[in-house]
Chain A
Amino acid sequence: MMSYPDSSSMKPFSSSESFSPLLTSHSISRIPKDDQTCCGGSPPESSVGSWCGRSITKVSEGAHSIVMRVIQAMQNAIHVLGSLTANTNMLAGIFRRLNGQVLAAVEQLAKLPAGTYNQLKHITGSMVGYVDTIQVATDVSYFASGRFKQDNNVNFTSRVFMAVANMGGALLWFQEMSFISLSKAASAIGDVRLFGIVPAITSSIPGIRNIASLQRVASAIGEIRVFSFIHRLNPMETIALRALTLAYVFMAVDAAQRLASHNGIEKTQAALDLSNYLSELALDALLTIGVTNVVGLGVVGAVCIATALAKFAYKASM
């Protein structure tokens, strides 16, 4: 149990006292009730003076207390930022929104130099493509290691769609760099004659090969291109985006279920998760219906980033 430091003996950066170095909401709840009457609560009756519910005898102690709180708030922020930047999934999500919507809005509002805007767009796009490609390894690990057995059906489904989205993103990244040509691959797959062996078989059977009508039917079967629909299929980008949308749908459902069934910290976390997924779905809906207002989309993109940061910050501080 971390005890809140006594302000009269407070020394910064001391390890000899047991104190809560990062002032989180969780640690605040552990502070004795008297100390929580900050900014509006009534001071203890027997104190000479009071600041934030603790009795003080000098003004300097109050100032010291403010300084300590500011330092602890900064440490909280650095801690969350440090944890965030170490998490590539979170970074990719933020960079995806920066690349997609926010940068365009900033460019329009702040009139960024064209070179800077193009470079930033290129960098954020590279980052997202690279991380999506690497995330395929996480998806493979999730399924190959059997971790999916511990997940509920909704979460599992969201992971499946996320894996499809990551794979699609990886293929698109390789296509952008001209490593592969998805259109050529689609054309090759679409031209596959799955039953091409049927005419060869029928023509080699002695009794059947002389029956002309049967040979014509076998030839027709051999010409069937089962995968020809791929020529008319939507491009990979659409598949990847739709898979991502579906992943968010199922993640939102999972978050809603957790919101309904849990209490306390888990309920708050579920609420923050849900807000993030809903903002992503809202942005996706706007893009789908064809909204082209750059600033508006930028704002929604910024909301997605903010909710992602909030959900991560809450998790990191718990």
Chain B
Amino acid sequence: MGSIDNITISKGFQVGLKAADYVADTSEPLEKLSKMIFRAADFAMAWTGKVSEPLLELSNRLKNTVVVFEGVNLFGRIKELACPNPKTGEYFFQTSSWAKCADRVFLTVAGVFKMMNAGIKFGLIQLAQLAKMSFGRIPLLRLIPDTLVAISSFFSICDNVNVVKTTGEKLATANEKAEKWSRRPALIEQVRSGNVEEITKLKSYYQGRVVSFENQLDKEMEKVKQERNVDEISKYGAALRKCHARIEMINNQEHIKLADDLAKQDVKFKQHKWSVVKGNETIGVNKAWLGIVGGVSKIFVIAVAAGMTTLGLVTTPYALSLLAIGITVDSIGFTKTMYDFIRKPQVIPTRPITLA
């Protein structure tokens, strides 16, 4: 048990080092980390009521750094939209849902406004008139990018809700299959020994499968000839024949023959395959949920900040609350980025493999 713990610790340490590498070398997570740090510094000063010169300087420097990162990350967003994937040759719009595309477009336009803001702030662009315009108490050049980010978060939530739905269904199927194949060795032994209960369950299972496959086949055959999926038809046909053969074995009480037939399949490969599929779908669902939580919290913080500014609520408790919410939002975003990096889907095995 001690050696297993050491391996786990060592693996965890290695993952931590890789994560640290990723954060240090990539501008997007570094931007999120910078936001967390300067907000934490501002929170600490607001909470204690004392202005610490080093913390204030750190906060100001990181705010400037965030402005730079937001500007440079804009190029990354433009690249995502304008350039096809070098491996597949497909554009983002071709492989993503409409909600995801809308999310990215609004985020990119928000990035343009943020860059414009930075240019005005550092005196590189002379748009004094525009900088002075405001909607109520909120400057226009702050309201527009914040609104665009909120809209982008809305579309991101829509996309992630769809992903949760579809991936959730796939996860349920994968769970079912993983469960089925994990019980298969025990089932084979029970069939071989002639366990009536299990054999009866098996028969009703195959009868249900026959109905399902026949429905699927009918759906395919109803389609126009050119639209039929030949691979699916042959797959359902083969599965249907297999189910009929096994039902016949059960009816003829050929238990040994049935057990041998069940044992022909590579159970270990199936167990491995469906555990990989289950893992991948779980990762997908978790990422989607993190996206939903992140999107909701972003909309919430923008709404709260806009509301506070409009109502003139700039007292310390509200400012503290806003900072705390901001830190939480940034932490969620950072967690999602790191989860995306650390947990990558595995390649689903397609050939029978020999497991140790």
> Which residues of A approach B to under 8 Å, CB–CB?
2, 13, 15, 18-22, 74-75, 78-79, 81-89, 91, 95, 113, 115-116, 119-120, 122-123, 126-127, 129-131, 134-135, 137-138, 140-141, 144-145, 176-179
Interface residue from A20, A119, A123, A138 paired with B25 (Cβ < 8 Å): A138
Main secondary structure of the interface of A (DSSP, over half): helix
Residue of B nearest to A83 (CB): B79
Q: Which residue of A lies closest to B34 (CB)?
A: A130
* Pairs A-B, 9 closest by C-beta atoms: A82-B79, A116-B123, A85-B72, A126-B61, A21-B84, A141-B17, A177-B57, A137-B20, A138-B24
Contact across chains for B25 and A75 when beta carbons are under 8 A apart: no
- Once the chains bind, are B20 and A178 in contact (CB under 8 Å)? no
Question: Cβ of B20 and Cβ of A78 under 8 Å apart?
Answer: no
Q: How far is the CB of A192 from chain B (nearest CB, A)?
A: 26
A79, closest chain B residue (CB): B83
User: Could you tell me the distance between the alpha carbons of A122 and B64 in the complex, rounded to whole angstroms?
Assistant: 9
Contacting pair A123 B18 (CB below 8 A): no
Q: Can you name 20 A-B residue pairings with CB atoms under 8 Å?
A: A19-B89, A21-B83, A21-B86, A75-B82, A78-B79, A78-B82, A81-B75, A85-B27, A85-B73, A85-B76, A87-B25, A87-B26, A88-B26, A116-B122, A135-B24, A141-B18, A145-B17, A145-B18, A177-B61, A179-B58
Give the interface residue-count category, chain B.
35 or more
Q: Which A residues are CB-close (under 8 A) to B13?
A: 144
Please name all residues of chain B whose beta carbon is closer than 8 Å to the beta carbon of A115 when the two chains form the complex: 123
CB distance from A214 to the nearest CB of B (A): 49
B123 touching A126, Cβ below 8 Å: no
The reply to whether A138 and B20 form a contact with Cβ atoms under 8 Å apart is: yes
Min C-beta distance of B56 to chain A, whole Å: 9
Q: How far is the CA of A127 from the CA of B76 in the complex (A)?
A: 18
**Chain B 18-76 interface residues, beta-carbon cutoff 8 Å to A:** 18, 20-21, 23-28, 30, 33-34, 53-54, 57-58, 61-62, 64-65, 67-68, 72-73, 75-76
B54 proximity list for chain A (CB < 8 A):
177-179
- Measured between beta carbons, the chain A residues less than 8 angstroms from B26 are 86-88
List of B residues within 8 angstroms of A137 by Cβ: 20-21, 23-24
